[in-house]
Amino acid sequence: MNAKKWIGLCAIIALVAIVVPGTRYIFNDRKAPDSNVRNFSAEQEKTLKVKTLNKDMDATSLLCTTECSKEFHKLMNNGAKAGTFKAQSDKVAHMMGMHKHMAYISWINGNRSVDRGALPDKTAARYVADAKAKVKAGQSYQSRPFMSETGSRYVVLGVPSGKKNGIGVVGVINQDIVMQVERHQKRNLRLVPYPAEGNYRIESVEPNSNRETTVHDGEDNGNASHYHVKDVVVHFQDKLTANQLEQIKQKINAQNIQRIGDTYVFRSKDMDADKMVHYFQKSWKTEYVEPHYLYLTNDKADDDADIIKPNDALYSQYQWNLPSIETEKGWGLSKGNDKVIVAILDTGVQADHPDLKGKLMDGTNIVDSNAAPNDDVGHGTHVAGIIGASVNNGEGVAGISWYNKLLPVKVLDSSGAGSTYSVAQGIIWATDHGAKVINMSLGNYAQAEFLHDAIKYAYEHDVVLVAASGNDNTDRPGYPAAYPEVFAVAATDSSNNKASFSNYGDYIDVAAPGDSIASTYPGGQYAALSGTSMASPHVAALAGLIRSINPDLNNEEVMEIMRKSAIDLGNKGKDNYFGYGLIDVDKALKAASNYTSALQNFPGQTERRLEAISRKYNAG
């Protein structure tokens, strides 16, 4: 069926499709069949969800202050080159223009300062005075968060240059983003009724309350030598004392130390081999200092030599999720391709977010055809950053894909909800405009044939469709995730357990990180959110990388690779909580690069399709 025929079907507006960045899940008192899944009463579940909410708020606040502190340091480092007072003032104005949440900045140099912006109230003025005194003394400062007279949340930061020269930056930072995250996650974790009455006729279902529900059951060798990028081997002339060893440990930020006689192998957490060789040669008497070489068979080797650690400001401290799925290894095989488009059906995306610069296509707004697909909720921008925030630019966070283009398709309105019509039309539009992967961090519990027809249209046009399972901790099949053509994603936490809120069931294909995920947020900011909505874009990004490294793969082959390469969690084999397991970017890309469409792959694919179709009709 072509796209034109769909226009005639768009008169019927059906069920509401609810965004699921963080939803809820309820277990009864019966023992769950998986050791990683705990039993929750309704009250226990609510307590866990409040804990998740508070964690997201705290992490968002910390992301905000960390990002601003790093920007202040960059300002001071560039300040030596600024020259005149006007040049310094221009630099402050530029920084504030890029970071609208910086309400007031004072760049201090002894008794002189460059001041821009306005103090919101007397409380802020008092904290700023304290911060300036601390900075001039070479000390850092951070006030407690406070509410202004207008109801906005602020925090005051004081960042000294670190050279005890009376130079530093004091800033008043608007943290309304924390309250936005609170409102956002209260809805999406179903701590308040959502969606609100008014925009749609809503028939309440049990998962939207806190009532308890029943739970049913290589690297190629070539001619090169290889060594560990964070290791160095040192043979000392003299024996080391305990104090000397501790001194070395602190200097190189050692993660691990091995010893054979007078020879040591030092592994650093953040210093590369070249810098460590220079340090030991300059500071210690040694017989020799050399890299820690690897001796490999003539095959592929799973080693850390190809690990890529991006320099994005918030990456190492906050983005636990990417290393947990072996993204850093996978980047050695593929960083994506700008010819492979990943569509984001969501609330829109902030077009001018500095960490999404150059990644976004024009997209479309299904909700309002006269407007651009700008994000008025926050959800879509967060999803976009997980997939494709700029990597290795020294700013903010790192996305999973370095080069894949992102296509924003706004199908959800300012309340975070949209009709079957808007979602179906969005799927068709994205397909017709070149999307090879579509991410849908949205869903509801009713099947709509109208939506299913749109999904079949995209599937038949070789699109990989990825969807979040939902956040109600229920085995009730959620749609579009439970449609047989869609790749369904559950959420895990940082310990590789099922996230307490994550939906589950026999339709789940894989799991991905979804607990307190740091990503881009409107206003050029960054926030931490939890939900299967955060898990789904991890998988969509992986599908984009797979289609980049091997463009000859069809959509079913891409999905098969993601299933087969997943790391098994929970009960052995496929289960209802993790599907085939946690996605593994490195293994999936290795499999994709060596994958050939062969007859032996056909039976497994066919069997899974028949199972999914049978499940759908049995449920009906």
Q: Are 530 and 52 in contact (CB under 8 A)?
A: yes
Which residues 6+ apart lie within 8 Å of 202 measured at CB?
16, 195
Nearest to 581 by CA among 589, 590, 572: 572
Check 401, 441, 516, 533 and give the catalytic one. 533
Which amino acid belongs to residue 583? I
Instruction: Clarify whether 533 is annotated catalytic.
Output: yes
Q: Determine the Cα–Cα distance for residues 589 and 546; give it in Å rounded to an integer.
A: 6
Q: Which residues of 188-222 are buried (b: 16+ CB within 10 A; e: fewer)?
A: bbbbeebbeeeebebeeeebbebebbebeebbebe
Find tokens 């002339």 and name the residue. Answer: 237
Element (H, E) at 265: strand 263-268
Nearest to 387 by CA among 450, 341, 324: 341
Taking the CA of residue 78 as centre, how many other CA atoms within 13 Å lie in the half-sphere pointing to its CB? 14
Q: Determine the Cα–Cα distance for residues 424 and 530; give it in Å rounded to an integer.
A: 26
**Residue 47, token pair as written in the block:** 């307590």
**Residue 421, token pair as written in the block:** 């019509």
Check 379, 382, 452, 538 and give the catalytic one. 379
Nearest to 219 by CA among 482, 607, 586, 522: 586
> DSSP letters along 181-208, please?
HHHHHHHHTTSS-SSPTTSS-----GGG
DSSP 8-state symbol, 390: -
- Phi, psi of 265, rounded to the nearest 5 degrees: -115, 115
> Where are any strands of DSSP class E within 32-147?
102-109, 112-117, 141-142, 146-147
**Residue 242, token pair as written in the block:** 């305990």
Instruction: Clarify whether 292 is annotated catalytic.
Output: no
Check 312, 346, 509, 575 and give the catalytic one. 346
**Residue 510, token pair as written in the block:** 């894989």
To the nearest 10°, the Cα dihedral for 84, 87, 93, 99? -110
Q: Are 306 and 241 in contact (CB under 8 A)?
A: no
Residue 338 has a CB neighbour count (10 Å cut-off) of: 14
Q: CB pairs under 8 A, 24+ apart, for 51-55?
A: 52/22, 52/185, 52/189, 52/500, 52/501, 52/515, 52/516, 52/530, 53/182, 53/185, 53/186, 53/189, 53/191, 55/516, 55/528, 55/530
Q: Determine the Cα–Cα distance for residues 421 and 495; give it in Å rounded to an integer.
A: 39
As annotated, the active-site residues are 346, 379, 533
